[in-house]
Amino acid sequence: MFLEQLKLFRLPSPPPEAKTRHLLIGGRIVDYRFKSGAKRLSMTIDERGLRIGAPHRTSQSEIEAFVQGHGDWVLKKLGELAHATQPRHLTVKDGARLPLLDSEAEVRVLPGANRVRWVGELLVLEARPEADLGQLAVRALQKRALTHFGERLAHFTARLDLAVPKLGLSSAQTRWGSCSRHGGIRVNWRLIHLPTQLGDYVVAHEVAHLLEMNHSERFWRVVSSLYPEWKAARTELKQRAASLPIL
């Protein structure tokens, strides 16, 4: 029951059926989005990076030979885009940096069986060649979000001497969080990209709903007791919503 109905994602996300793969071109690892079912082999490059379409049953070797045949052009266009304005669509690749609370996480891609792990602020993706690196990164970020916001939930419920409710994550495009007496509290996992104090405000807001399932004056008094700077945090959340990265 969160007041702010925010449009978090104004740019269209890549089609869900497109998968991120990577290959070596001229000594450089290049990621590309792949979609099967096209009429012919085709290739485009825009702010989201390299995208390839291919007919069904096209082999991986045919796709790689096609890209390698245009390798110089691919590297040139990607280099030009690297100097353009940073887009919200972030390509997950080796060396990429992702906003993580008050810092950044550096991505390291290694050969493996599609497993993820954290080494401090280093996000290690042990990926197969055909793996969707974006999906692997999202899995790791959601795992980190569940741990972090679980700790913050325990902190704020203890302040009110309340039992810790069940915590879930959401991918809602219009809400930062929600609260239900029966379903527990849910927070948007993408808050993991924002400074710690903003996520704290959302958690405190939802914890206050455990006492007041409304937005009355009594509700806001509870919020103020948990998070006195809530007005500034609410304003900053509105400002940052349009710049959240899209993986």
pLDDT of residue 183: 81
H or E element in which residue 51 lies: strand 49-54
Position 111 scores a pLDDT of: 93
* Both structure tokens of 98: 């992702």
Query: Which amino acid is it at 157?
Result: T
pLDDT of residue 3: 44
What is the three-class DSSP state of 85? coil
61 by Cβ neighbours in 10 Å (0-12 / 13-18 / 19+) ranks as exposed
pLDDT at 2 over 60: no
Contacts of 78 (CB under 8 A, 6+ apart): 30, 45, 49, 50
Structural domains of the chain, ranges and CATH numbers in brackets: 139-243 (3.30.2010.10)
Prediction pTM value? 0.65
Burial environment of residue 173 by CB neighbours within 10 A (0 to 12, 13 to 18, 19 or more)? middle
- Predicted confidence (pLDDT) per residue in 30-51, tens digit: 888 888 888 889 988 876 778 8
Residue 160: half-sphere exposure toward Cβ, Cα within 13 Å: 25
pLDDT score of 9 more than 60: no
Q: Tokens for 52, please give them.
A: 């390839």
Calculate mean pLDDT across residues 138-151. Answer: 96
Q: How confident is the model at residue 83 (pLDDT cuts 50, 70, 90)?
A: low
User: Can you tell me the distance from the alpha carbon of 175 to that of 4, in angstroms, rounded to the nearest whole number?
Assistant: 7
> Considering the chain, what percentage of its residues have pLDDT values greater than 90?
54
Instruction: Quote the percentage of the chain above a pLDDT of 70.
Output: 89
For residue 140 the two structure tokens come to: 């790791």
- Model confidence pLDDT, tens digit, residues 162-189: 999 999 999 887 789 999 888 899 999 9
**How far is Cα 65 from Cα 32, in angstroms, rounded to an integer?**
14
* Contacts (Cβ under 8 Å, ≥6 apart) of 54: 34, 35, 36, 38, 40, 41, 42, 62, 63
Residue 82's pLDDT band (cuts 50, 70, 90): low
pLDDT value at residue 18:
58
Label the pairing between strands 184-188 and 177-180: antiparallel
> Could you tell me if 29 and 94 are in contact, meaning their C-beta atoms sit under 8 angstroms apart?
yes
Compute the mean pLDDT over every residue in the chain, rounded to the nearest whole number: 86
Q: What is the pLDDT of residue 158?
A: 97
Which tokens belong to 116?
A: 């993820």
Q: How far apart are CA 75 and CA 25, in angstroms?
A: 8
- Mean pLDDT along residues 82-111: 83
Residue 109: beta bridge partners?
A: 125
Cα–chain center distance at 52: 23
